[in-house]
Structure 1
Amino acid sequence: MNSLRCPNCSSPVFLETLDCPTCTASIGFHAPTRGFFLVGAEGSEIEIDGSVWVACSNRFWKCNWLADTSQPSGACRACRLTRRQPSNDDTLALERLADTAVDKRRLLVQLNDLGLPVVPFYEREGGLAFDLVSSRSGEPVTIGHANGVITIDLAESLDDYRETLRVKLGEVYRTVLGHFRHEVGHYFQNILVDTDERWAECRRLFGDERTSYSDAIARHYRYGAPATWRESFISDYATMHPWEDFAETFAHYLHITGTVATAAGSGLILHADRVGFTGVGDIVARFSYADRTIEELLADWHWLSLMFNRVNRSMGLGDFYPFDLTEPVITKLSFVHALVTDARG
């Protein structure tokens, strides 16, 4: 798939773009076709494939999606998935909501690209919902997932707050999008692991999720991860409980496939004769690996992530992807890959 482009001047734009930086045209994102359309004056309608769309009622708060007028709300599908948010008079928290919702929409686009089922909470009990609330507004907020509801602390959109926690907790990676991808992993474990056979395989790889979660938390924060955790886990946090191991692995599957898809959309090819690696041909990033094995995906990712790491280092930054994919981790990723591709099928 090609990179996203302005419908007026064809300049490349980002997924969250409201106004084209080249021609200043106001544009809106149409999720079903993954494309942009011109947005006219407030309330103006856009006909797309026989349906009528308008700018989301939250466009003032940075939402650039289009809303289907056949729905009972002026909000787009992404905004309707938010179950709780700050009150209208909490403008500081609403500014953080606007920033956080960008990552929520990016997550939803990727889930759609992967063909994963997203049933909203207002259509089914246990359906997907987001509580986006701020610990800076006077209530305690714990990032997590419960019965389809993903809770995110809007304070995480503040760089200084998030970085302080990252250092304090000894994490090499902490982003708002990372939180969304991790928590949606909990949601999809209950959706995609849907047979006795799959649960048996899941428990063989990740452990028995029926063990006490509260005991696991207490043990993890008292003793930390085992010294040998890197041999079998993608992260320190994944060692805490089988639920967290699955969610961390699922999040990394989204990290990898999302980044490779972006590279593919940008036309990135690593030419073997220029890069200097041997034993493989050119690395051509693919938008989808649904018909490919996890080994093929990770073979491409190996070289692409090395390139991205070099780019980061050339800017004086830490590695873009500072994680090791050991054989046990690859086996877990293979399980997730099978779940995702089966869901698409």
Structure 2
Amino acid sequence: MKTFSCQCGNTLHFANTRCVNCGLMLGFLPDDRQLSAFTKNRNGYWQASSNGRAYRQCKNYHMYDVCNWMVPYEDTNELCTSCRMTQTIPNLDQPNNKLLWFRMEQAKRRLLYTLYKLELPVISRQQDPNQGLGFSFMEDQTEDEYGNELTVKNFVTTGHNAGVITLNLREAEHSSRMKVREEMNEQYRTLVGHFRHESGHYYWDRLIKNSGWLEEFRTLFGDERLDYTLSLQNYYAQGPSVDWHKVWISAYASMHPWEDFAESWAHYLHMVDTLETASDFDFSVSSHQVINPLQQLPQSDEAKNEAHFNQLFNDWCRLTAVLNALNRSMGLDDAYPFVISTMATDKLRFVHKVIGAANTTNIG
């Protein structure tokens, strides 16, 4: 994630809605991938300082303040391209749900930013009702028991199904998410991590399934035709293999080839987004300058793609060693609590190749 600049010269961050230096309203322009300052023009519309064009605030920006994306003036949609992809929002009559919805949308926008930067196809349900990407943010249904206790009647499972990513609203509640993390003995559990993982399932369907990648996928990840429900039951009953770290990037990746790919996909997005941030701050480790992997996208050329991945991976290993050491100095958990084995690296390299072949620069 890069930073941006206001017309006054102040540094802006992706989630900002107002410049703290000059006070101007800010908004993100998805088509330009740019956060811009705005002023009202003589017709009463917001005019972007970055390109001079007229915009409107997304409805979820001006009504609920859960978004900071803009809609071009000539676009008849009330919602921005990000908010249009949300099919189900929480019940706003519940006092804390607006904050939780905001956190959901903020993490989703970080995902979309990276997908746009990688020039992957991002197709909404409005564009493709059958295979387009959509999001539902839902909460468990509860009912009163004995007049003073709430019990869960219907539990919402976070997951992906036919293009729709569903997240349980509790994942946006920090204490609930950390409780689950402890119960599941997980090293890492974040909102943006959920979005990146579930998007891996979506892109497996879109880019791997019924494609020329399938044979190589099965060689690296295993046969996805294995019974998923049985694999899930076995994983939660018996836990991961003792030596999972030699083969998989995380314990959960060992559950089934689909989950292995989704975890590898998520970690690849962790890598490129964090490396872009480090590069934007001119970060170097032991005289090695961190290169922005999103300035030069993965390519279909095999030799160039291999060199690009090696640079990305080496930068990541150096950077995460520093990030973990800094966190330990503050008494915090490791920022990246994973050791990437050779086999897990090969899976990340596969994700890199798939993205290189699939980005819109190559597919037109």
TM-score by shorter chain over 0.5: yes
Identity over aligned residues, as a percent?
34
Residue 55 of structure 1: aligned partner:
57
AA of the residue aligned to 1:263: A
Cα offsets for 1:190-209 (capped at 9, x unmatched): 11115543111111111111
CA contact (8 A) 2:3 2:11 kept: yes
Change (3 A) 1:78 1:142: same
Change (3 A) 1:196 1:62: closer
1:314-325 paired onto structure 2 within 5 Å: 314-325=329-340
Aligned Cα root-mean-square deviation (Å): 2.1
Change (3 A) 1:74 1:240: same
Q: Partners of 1:341 and 1:105 in 2: how far apart?
A: 22
Instruction: Say which SS state the counterpart of residue 346 (structure 2) adopts.
Output: helix
Cα offsets for 1:26-51 (capped at 9, x unmatched): 11111121222223469723367686
AA of the residue aligned to 2:88: R
Q: Does 1:108 align with 2:112?
A: yes
Q: Partners of 1:109 and 1:208 in 2: how far apart?
A: 31
AA of the residue aligned to 2:270: H
Extract unaligned runs of 5+ from structure 1.
273-281
Change (3 A) 1:112 1:136: same
AA of the residue aligned to 2:226: T
Residue 146 of structure 1: aligned partner:
161
Q: Partners of 1:122 and 1:27 in 2: how far apart?
A: 27
Instruction: Say which SS state the counterpart of residue 58 (structure 1) adopts.
Output: helix
Q: Partners of 2:101 and 2:271 in 1: how far apart?
A: 26
Q: Partners of 1:58 and 1:67 in 2: how far apart?
A: 11
Change (3 A) 1:210 1:311: same
1:1-345 paired onto structure 2 within 5 Å: 3-7=3-7, 9-40=8-39, 44-46=45-47, 52-59=54-61, 60-124=64-128, 125-135=130-140, 139-193=154-208, 196-272=211-287, 282-288=288-294, 289=296, 290=298, 292-344=307-359, 345=362
Extract unaligned runs of 5+ from structure 2.
144-153, 299-304
CA contact (8 A) 1:136 1:155 kept: no
CA contact (8 A) 1:96 1:157 kept: yes
CA contact (8 A) 2:29 2:69 kept: yes
Instruction: Say which SS state the counterpart of residue 67 (structure 1) adopts.
Output: strand
CA contact (8 A) 2:12 2:35 kept: no
Q: Partners of 1:135 and 1:6 in 2: how far apart?
A: 41
- TM-superposed CA distance for 1:137, in Å, is 6.7
Higher strand share: 2
- TM-superposed CA distance for 1:92, in Å, is 2.5
AA of the residue aligned to 1:286: N
